[in-house]
Structure 1
């Protein structure tokens, strides 16, 4: 497998991330309405913790967005031709590390229904269902939560 790195998204990535979302095969047919017209902006990238997985030529293979308040995995996409290569697993692992560094104890995910099994394999627990919100979302979505491990604190001995 080619070399893949994860780096912070920059303003120049916004159009590429928008294209990745718009071209996602997972959002065709009945799910197309939720991403119709959606745009990732430079302002969004500046406001949230957005990270991209890139190959050696800097091609964006996938990305995620972690919103800190309230803690939520807002976006997570892997390019259709990069799925099955472990990119999603690496991005979720990176997101958990970012959440831990930010002092979060959990991260909410309102999942695209076909993605629920992926998130569960990554360790998320289903905690409920989010009702439809027409006109864009006319179906229920699973609500999941990732537990964020607490960073062990150094114990200082006193005498």
Structure 2
């Protein structure tokens, strides 16, 4: 696997992004309900800055940044690419994109097991989003990334 390139995702990649998300081991078992019926659509990609990490034709990860208010809406790294630094590269890319768009900070509502990752990446914990059964049966950490200015 070569060094992935992070490129703006295209609406034509919606199916591949959705498949990568649904294949994630992090969202199996107890956490599977949050993704039930969820799909990244072409309209979503067209309307929100969404970036894909590609090694040739292979999709290894992606993220999506909401602009108003600023929020890291989706971040996934393929199971086979975890532990290789790709998540950190996606976060660094997201922060550069946020700065280019004039954002001062970026909110994250985290998957509970991903909390240590976001803290390592420099996010600060700001609260907890309560469970919203039946789809989301667990509390979720809320964090913020401060966007570097220079």
TM-score (structure 1 length as normaliser) = 0.92
1:52-94 residue CA offsets vs partner (Å, 9 max, x unmatched): 0000x22110000000001000000000001011110100000
Distance in 2 between residues matched to 1:58 and 1:23, nearest whole Å: 18
How many residues matched?
150
* Partner in structure 1 of residue 140 of structure 2: 141
* Structure 1 unmatched runs, 5+: 152-159
Aligned ranges 1:1-150 → 2 under 5 Å:
2-55=2-55, 57-150=56-149
Q: Following superposition, which runs of at least 4 residues in structure 1 exceed 6 angstroms of deviation?
A: none
Q: Which protein is bigger by CA-based radius of gyration?
A: 1
Distance in 1 between residues matched to 2:54 and 2:91, nearest whole Å: 15
TM-score (structure 2 length as normaliser) = 0.98
Distance in 2 between residues matched to 1:132 and 1:120, nearest whole Å: 21
Structure 1 position 99, deviation (Å): 0.3
Structure 1 position 150, deviation (Å): 1.7
1:40-59 residue CA offsets vs partner (Å, 9 max, x unmatched): 1000000000000000x221
